[in-house]
Amino acid sequence: MKAVGYYQNQTIDQADSLVDLELPIPVATGRDLLVRVEAVSVNPVDTKVRRNAAPVEGAARILGWDAVGTVVAIGPEATLFKAGDAVFYAGALERPGTNAEFHLVDERLVGPKPASLTAAEATALPLTSITAWEMLFDRMGVARLPAGAGNDGTAGVLLIVGGAGGVGSIATQLARQLTGLTVIATASRPETRDWSLAMGAHHVIDHRQPLEPQVRAIAPGGATHVMSLTATEQHFPAIAALMAPQGKLALIDDPAQPLDITLLKRKSISLHWEFMYTRSMFQTPDMIAQHELLREVSRLVDAGVLRTTMTQDLGGISAANLRRAHAVVESGTARGKLVLSGF
């Protein structure tokens, strides 16, 4: 089968930072599905692993976690899907990635692909949807609105730092459509501001300017919830200052320096880490929650409640196109999600 991987850690401008490969087709065992991959997307985790995780000596490491495809075989213990099913998922960090024609994934991490989306449109969603959903509902414990209820913004104030990125784009939609929170997103360019508003943000502020006065101008009592998705070490003092007492702060990035969490003490602010691979990495008893989560996301997409966050399809899944995608993600200027489709 065709695949794309790397043999050594390289900067993305090097021609061998990602290379085209031919590998054997894997075999489904246990609860695994063997999926014929039709589309993938690129996330910051892809670039971090490529830069920092050395492959086994003499072997290539295959990146990629988001995927859409068709089940072609199932392991003897799999019961949730059958051959021919269209699926989407984000996989597991410690297993070979989705940048391959065929891929093995535990069925408990897989959801049915939204029928209303193309493969390219759907592959933008799994990893970021899982991350945003777990942040909002599992980590911070935000309540979902009853079916049919509208968001009147009275359940609190959510600040999303980095609102136009992949996670921020779907987090904005989830919070606006499924909760009663007033959603404030940050963006620093006209095109990212417009994107955040299109995703459903009630307000957009500029993260290149002091955050606290901008938030206080909208919500004098401060933000009850904050999702810090990027540059947390840069914004942390301001976040602590702008948050309401007994607020909840969730973050996903890797701060470049230690955070002074004592800034949260006086207000009794709780701090929540979100790492969407925790369930798969530790085989937690509730690992199937990601299957259930993706099934619900798929239903909401087909009902017109959520929309794809894809902004560009860069073409076929190849080393050259993946190098282009990695370069954009590393530039920090990505808006929504970049995807690739077909081999």
Residues 73-97, mean pLDDT to the nearest whole number = 97
Q: What is the mean pLDDT of residues 26-40?
A: 98
Q: Could you read off the pLDDT of 164-213 as tens digits, one per residue?
A: 999 999 999 999 999 999 999 999 999 999 999 999 999 999 999 999 99
- Residue pair 86/111 in contact by the 8 Å Cβ criterion: no
- Total-model pTM: 0.96
Q: Give the mean model confidence (pLDDT) for residues 8-25.
A: 96
CB 224 within 8 A of CB 268: no
As to burial, measured by CB atoms within 10 angstroms (0-12 exposed, 13-18 middle, 19+ buried), residue 77 is exposed
Give residue 148's pLDDT band: very low, low, confident or very high (50, 70, 90).
confident
pLDDT of 136 reads 98
Contact of 32 with 78, CB cutoff 8 Å: yes
Model pLDDT, residue 104: 98
For residue 292, give every residue at least 6 positions away whose Cβ sits within 8 Å of its Cβ, in sequence order, or none. none
DSSP characters over 215-253 = HHHH-TT-EEEEEE-S-HHHHHHHHHHHEEEEEEEEE-S
User: What structural domains does the chain harbor?
Assistant: 2-127+285-341 (3.90.180.10), 140-273 (3.40.50.720)
pLDDT at 237: 98
Q: How far apart are CA 160 and CA 201, in angstroms?
A: 9
Give the confidence band of 334 by pLDDT, cuts at 50, 70, 90: confident
In sequence order, which ranges of the chain are alpha helices (DSSP H)?
44-52, 119-122, 126-133, 166-178, 190-199, 211-218, 232-242, 278-281, 289-302, 319-331
